[in-house]
């Protein structure tokens, strides 16, 4: 077996977790391959170094819990509506999508039937050969209905689908016969009004068709078949399609449902709802969604706010509480320099200079090379009225060559103490 | 045998033949901890903040174990751990109790830490000894000094830490979790939501990269 296939098993082998079957195979290979043996040796040594390395972690902050609890919102946790139901919802969504695709795909099949039910002429045209149908389409419209597309016209004359615009429907004009491929394309295309470009390109006109369908469906159910087109007209009017069309031959009936008010856009359900006087539910503002307001107020959408949102206790109160916690913690970890360091700060905040000095002294004993500890000791000694000790500690800070700011501070305090001593 | 088959074998048998054998007592302890976590999570999901506080107490050390070895300063570690627990509280409603709470929490911890590191883009190998941050002394501070902790050993440890810092974030997190937090590769895969093979691969490349940095240690010893 090639080395490249086995090398990825060298680390599990070095750690002793390689399965038996692979173990035997790898060992056979290693016996015959110097390159892989060397690689294994190097990996094993690296793992050994890592295993021997002491990489201690930081102690958790003593007040982590209180800080987190101060940041979390005071509201019951809402169990996600999706928790455990995701597969079911996914399946439902997939089924809905498939259904929608099927509906779109079979639309050309459904619509001719509907139109046929409304218009025997259209039905006849759709069933006859294409050439004959084109002849029929090229025939002039009855004079009473005007030459152009009558958007508001009743469907008794074939409806919009059966009518061509004036420019292409001159009397006696023959349209060129479509090629077989074009016929196929047309047969597959949705039955939109041919020659009316706005119906293809304008989304408002597209909505007009949707509104018309929905309105028709509902009107048929309610026995208002004569007003079916009016709904579409009103819809188109409110959406600005009116300007693209000729004036309606017959004005829309005054009675009956109207979409003159606010028209819901988009979903046919909304159109139908508004058309029949249904109440439309207002969209819920984002800020009113559960938990959202709190997120916004804290600037915490999905992004954590960082240290700006850290909540600290009041200084006086915090120092006392922290001292209690830290002293307890110090009993558990007597040599933890983190706890001792925090304790120095806490004593400093509480104004307990002697205690601060004592703890700082412990720190300098634990790590005599740490300039920060000596600086803390010097400051504590100053507060505890021990100027000579403080001066000595500052001198030690200077000797240890700390960061520039600490060095500057130590030098300035040292000068001040020496001047005061003189 | 194909690579994928071999990988599958490795995944299925790797844990079984692991050298760390869990005793019955340890397994029972682990299960009871899992049960205790589950109960606390249930209470936290009903809005009982104190239950979540107990979860913080139980898991803060493990979270610090990962985070503190990935960032440079104590402040950053504190802030990140806070963010992790706040995020966990906000998302606890979506926690499915068929998973282990610790795995779920550590996934949040790793994701938030990696996201933060990506944002900061300022990891440097020298910062560990930066006097301004003093992380090295902080890290050392947690280990009780003992006579055996010689200067040579400390230098060696710091050299290894620097070498680990030079790894990419994704390699570093698996190295930290596997070699310093004692996670098995299966557990890491569960936390990182990747395959066990990917975890082994990252460890392998991390070891190869570390080898270059640690050669002098081998020569020295």
pLDDT of residue B104: 92
Judgement on whether residues B115 and B165 belong to the same structural domain of the protein = no
pLDDT of residue A78: 57
What token pair was written down for A165?
């615009």
Residues 152 through 181 of chain B touching chain A, CB cutoff 8 Å: 153, 156-157, 160-161, 164, 175-176, 179-180
With beta carbons under 8 A apart, name residues in chain A contacting B17: 17-20
Q: Is the CB of residue B92 less than 8 Å away from at least one CB of chain A? A: yes
- Res. B215: pLDDT tops 90: no
- Would you place residue B46 in the very low, low, confident or very high pLDDT band (cuts 50, 70, 90)? confident
**A67 inside domain:** no
pLDDT of residue A276: 42
Interface probe with A: pick from B163, B207, B208, most Cβ of A within 10 Å: B207
CATH number at residue B178: 1.10.10.10
**Torsion from C-alpha of A34, A35, A38, A43, nearest 10 degrees:** -140
- Would you place residue B194 in the very low, low, confident or very high pLDDT band (cuts 50, 70, 90)? very high
**B55 inside domain:** yes
pLDDT higher for A50 or A110? A50
Judgement on whether residues B116 and B160 belong to the same structural domain of the protein = no
Judgement on whether residues B81 and B113 belong to the same structural domain of the protein = yes
Q: A150-177, pLDDT tens digit by residue? A: 444 344 344 444 334 433 444 444 444 4
Rounded Cα distance between A29 and A14, Å, is: 15
pLDDT higher for A361 or A264? A361
When the pLDDT of each residue in chain A is averaged and rounded to a whole number, the result is 63
Nearest of B105, B113, B114, B16 to residue B58 by alpha carbon: B105
Residues 23 through 42 of chain B touching chain A, CB cutoff 8 Å: none
Judgement on whether residues B99 and B151 belong to the same structural domain of the protein = no
The arithmetic mean of pLDDT across residues B152-178, rounded, is 86
Domains of chain A: total: 4
* Gap from B181 CA to chain A (nearest CA, Å): 9
The lowest-confidence range among A52-66, A106-120, B124-138 is B124-138
Judgement on whether residues A335 and A386 belong to the same structural domain of the protein = yes
Judgement on whether residues A321 and A410 belong to the same structural domain of the protein = yes
**A297 inside domain:** no
**A336 inside domain:** yes
Query: CB of B164 within 8 A of CB of B70?
Result: no
Rounded Cα distance between A395 and A407, Å, is: 10
Q: How many CB atoms lie within 10 A of CB A275?
A: 24
State which of B122, B152, B180 marks the end of a domain. B122
Judgement on whether residues B80 and B149 belong to the same structural domain of the protein = no
Q: A244-273, pLDDT tens digit by residue? A: 433 444 444 444 443 434 444 444 444 444
pLDDT of residue A154: 42
> Contact B75/A307, CB-based, under 8 Å?
yes
Q: B48-94, pLDDT tens digit by residue? A: 888 899 999 999 999 999 999 898 888 889 999 999 999 999 888 88
**A304 inside domain:** no
pLDDT of residue B201: 92
Domain of A109 in residue numbering reads as: 94-135
Question: What whole-number percentage of chain B has pLDDT above 90?
Answer: 28
Domain of B192 in residue numbering reads as: 144-221
Rounded Cα distance between B40 and B90, Å, is: 15
The residue behind tokens 């900061």 is B120
Q: A72-121, pLDDT tens digit by residue? A: 766 555 555 555 566 677 888 899 999 898 888 876 665 555 554 455 55
Judgement on whether residues A277 and A330 belong to the same structural domain of the protein = no
> Contact A64/B82, CB-based, under 8 Å?
yes
The lowest-confidence range among A168-172, B29-33, B116-120 is A168-172
pLDDT higher for B99 or B133? B99
pLDDT higher for B170 or A329? B170
> Contact B69/A57, CB-based, under 8 Å?
yes
> Please, is B55 exposed, middle or buried when counting C-beta atoms within 10 Å of its C-beta (0-12, 13-18, 19+)?
buried
Judgement on whether residues A275 and A325 belong to the same structural domain of the protein = no
- Res. A130: pLDDT tops 70: no
Judgement on whether residues B99 and B27 belong to the same structural domain of the protein = yes
The lowest-confidence range among B24-28, B63-67, B161-165 is B24-28
**A259 inside domain:** yes
The lowest-confidence range among A36-40, A69-73, A152-156, B206-210 is A152-156
The arithmetic mean of pLDDT across residues A19-42, rounded, is 87
Judgement on whether residues B116 and B81 belong to the same structural domain of the protein = yes
Q: A386-414, pLDDT tens digit by residue? A: 888 899 999 988 888 887 778 888 888 88
CATH number at residue A335: 1.25.40.10
Rounded Cα distance between A291 and A303, Å, is: 14
State which of B60, B88, B122 marks the end of a domain. B122
Judgement on whether residues A345 and A405 belong to the same structural domain of the protein = yes
- Res. A186: pLDDT tops 50: no
pLDDT of residue B147: 52
Q: Is the CB of residue B136 less than 8 Å away from at least one CB of chain A? A: no
Question: What whole-number percentage of chain A has pLDDT above 90?
Answer: 1
Domains of chain B: total: 2
Q: Is B45 helix (H, G, I), strand (E, B) or coil?
A: helix
State which of A102, A119, A135 marks the end of a domain. A135
**B148 inside domain:** yes
Judgement on whether residues B108 and B165 belong to the same structural domain of the protein = no
Judgement on whether residues B91 and B171 belong to the same structural domain of the protein = no
pTM greater than 0.80 (yes/no): no
**Chain B residue nearest residue A79, CA to CA:** B93
DSSP string computed for A103-172 = HHHHHHHHHHHHHHHH-HHHHHHHHS-HHHHHHHHHSPPPGGG-SS--TTS-GGG-TGGG---GGG--TT
pLDDT of residue A257: 41
> Please, is A375 exposed, middle or buried when counting C-beta atoms within 10 Å of its C-beta (0-12, 13-18, 19+)?
buried
**B8 inside domain:** no
State which of B62, B88, B122 marks the end of a domain. B122
The residue behind tokens 């939109």 is A192
Judgement on whether residues A328 and A409 belong to the same structural domain of the protein = yes
What token pair was written down for B147?
């006579």
CATH number at residue B95: 1.10.1740.10
Nearest of A335, A391, A22, A30 to residue B1 by alpha carbon: A22
Size of interface A-B (CB pairs under 8 A): 203
**A182 inside domain:** no
């Amino acid at each position: 077996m090639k080395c490249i296939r086995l090398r990825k098993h060298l680390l599990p082998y070095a750690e002793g977790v390689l399965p038996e079957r692979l173990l035997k195979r790898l060992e056979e290979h290693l016996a015959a391959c110097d390159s892989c043996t060397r690689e294994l040796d190097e990996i094993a040594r690296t793992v050994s170094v890592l295993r021997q390395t002491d990489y201690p972690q930081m102690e958790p902050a003593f007040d982590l819990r209180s800080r987190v609890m101060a940041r979390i919102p005071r509201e019951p946790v809402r169990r996600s509506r999706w928790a455990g139901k995701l597969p079911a919802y996914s399946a439902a969504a997939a089924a809905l999508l498939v259904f929608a695709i099927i509906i779109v795909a079979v639309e050309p099949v459904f619509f001719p039937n509907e139109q046929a039910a409304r218009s025997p002429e259209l039905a006849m045209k759709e069933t006859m050969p294409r050439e004959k149908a084109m002849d029929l389409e090229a025939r002039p419209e009855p004079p009473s209905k005007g030459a152009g597309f009558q958007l508001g016209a009743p469907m008794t004359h074939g409806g919009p689908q059966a009518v061509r615009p004036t420019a292409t429907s001159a009397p006696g004009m023959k349209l060129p016969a479509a090629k077989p491929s074009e016929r196929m394309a047309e047969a597959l295309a949705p039955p939109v009004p041919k020659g009316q470009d706005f119906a293809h390109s304008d989304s408002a006109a597209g909505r007009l068709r949707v509104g018309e369908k929905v309105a028709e469906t509902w009107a048929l159910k309610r026995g208002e078949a004569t007003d079916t087109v009016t709904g579409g007209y009103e819809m188109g009017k409110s959406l600005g399609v009116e300007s693209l069309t000729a004036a309606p031959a017959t004005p829309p009936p005054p009675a009956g449902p109207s979409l003159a008010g606010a028209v819901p856009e988009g979903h046919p359900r909304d159109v139908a709802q508004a058309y029949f006087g249904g109440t439309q539910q207002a969209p819920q503002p984002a800020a009113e969604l559960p938990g959202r307001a709190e997120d916004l107020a804290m600037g915490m959408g999905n992004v954590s706010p960082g240290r700006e949102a850290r909540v600290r206790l009041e200084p006086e109160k915090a120092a006392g509480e922290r001292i209690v916690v830290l002293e307890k913690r110090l009993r558990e970890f007597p040599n933890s320099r983190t706890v001792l360091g925090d304790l120095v700060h806490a004593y400093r905040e509480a104004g307990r200079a002697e205690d601060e000095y004592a703890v700082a002294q412990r720190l300098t004993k634990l790590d005599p090379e740490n300039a920060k500890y000596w600086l803390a000791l010097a400051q504590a000694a100053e507060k505890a009225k021990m100027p000579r000790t403080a001066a000595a500690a500052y001198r030690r800070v200077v000797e240890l060559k700390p960061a520039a700011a600490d060095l500057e501070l130590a030098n300035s305090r040292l000068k001040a103490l020496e001047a005061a001593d003189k | 045998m194909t690579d994928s088959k071999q990988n599958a074998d490795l995944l299925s048998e790797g844990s079984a033949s692991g050298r760390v054998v869990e005793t019955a007592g340890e397994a029972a302890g682990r299960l009871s901890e899992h049960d205790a976590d589950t109960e606390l999570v249930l209470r936290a999901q009903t809005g009982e903040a104190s239950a979540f506080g107990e979860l913080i107490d139980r898991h803060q050390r493990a979270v610090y174990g990962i985070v503190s070895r990935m960032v440079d300063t104590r402040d950053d570690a504190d802030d990140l751990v806070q963010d992790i627990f706040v995020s966990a509280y906000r998302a606890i409603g979506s926690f499915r109790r068929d998973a282990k709470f610790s795995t779920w929490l550590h996934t949040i911890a790793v994701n938030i830490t990696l996201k933060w590191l990506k944002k900061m883009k300022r990891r440097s190998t020298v910062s560990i000894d930066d006097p301004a941050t003093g992380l090295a002394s902080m890290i050392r501070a947690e280990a009780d000094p003992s006579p055996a902790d010689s200067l040579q050993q400390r230098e060696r440890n710091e050299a290894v830490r620097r070498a680990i810092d030079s790894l990419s974030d994704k390699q570093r997190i698996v190295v930290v979790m596997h070699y310093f937090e004692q996670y098995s590769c299966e557990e890491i895969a569960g936390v990182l939501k990747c395959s066990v093979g990917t975890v082994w691969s990252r460890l392998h490349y991390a070891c190869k990269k570390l080898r270059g940095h640690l050669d002098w240690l081998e020569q020295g010893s």
